[in-house]
Amino acid sequence: MSKLLLMFSLIGVCHGFTMLGDGGSCRPKQGAAVKPPVERNDRLANGVWGGQHIRAEVTDSGAVIEFDCAHGVIDQPIVLDGKGGFDVKGKFTPERGGPSRKDEASNDRLVRYVGQVKDQALTLTITDTATKETIDSFTLTHGSDGRIMKCR
């Protein structure tokens, strides 16, 4: 019986050391860097970025963005500066409820998409280039589909 008790004690101690192998935490080790979501040539990471009232699909050639009552496009690569920021030209198109008519004039606005990436978060501000009006600011997370309520 004492051999059985000794064996279970040793198994328990070994199991305890295994559980504490990384300091007993699921967090990264102190000093371990969390790499921002960037890709080759310091481009914004491809894939889905989402937040409240916004969803962006980023590709090598830019991004397609959906808002609750608008959509936008960036038709150039989104290259980050040395501090994780970018400032690119694009279009922003307000939408309204109901069907659109064939003869309806385009209401595209030329805008600047200014962003800052930190860890897995992107802060994005959209500004009308003609009026200098800030249209809106958003916080997006890489890998999140976001939450959009289309006004259509």
Question: And the tokens for 15?
Answer: 């199991």
Please state, rounded to an integer, the average pLDDT across all residues of the chain. Answer: 81
Residue ranges of the domains in the chain?
Answer: 34-142
77 pLDDT above the threshold of 70: yes
Stretch 123-152: mean pLDDT, rounded?
A: 95
pLDDT at 39 over 80: no
Residues in the chain: 152
Structure tokens at 130: 């003609």
* More confident: 136 or 98: 136
pLDDT reported for residue 152: 65
Is the separation of the CB atoms in 55 and 66 below 8 Å?
yes
Does 3 score more than 60 pLDDT? no
The total of other beta-carbon atoms located within 10 Å of residue 85's CB is 13
Where residue 104 falls among pLDDT bands split at 50, 70, 90? confident
The label of the residue with tokens 């090598």 reads: 60
Radius of gyration of the chain (CA): 24
SS3 9: helix
Q: Is the pLDDT of residue 38 over 60?
A: no
pTM > 0.75: yes or no: no
Question: Cα angle vertex 88, ends 119, 117, to 5°?
Answer: 5
Please report the pLDDT score of residue 20 as a whole number: 43
DSSP 75-138: -S--B--TTSEEEEEEEEEE--SSPPPTTPPP--EEEEEEEEEETTEEEEEEEETTT--EEEEE
- 3-class SS of residue 61: coil
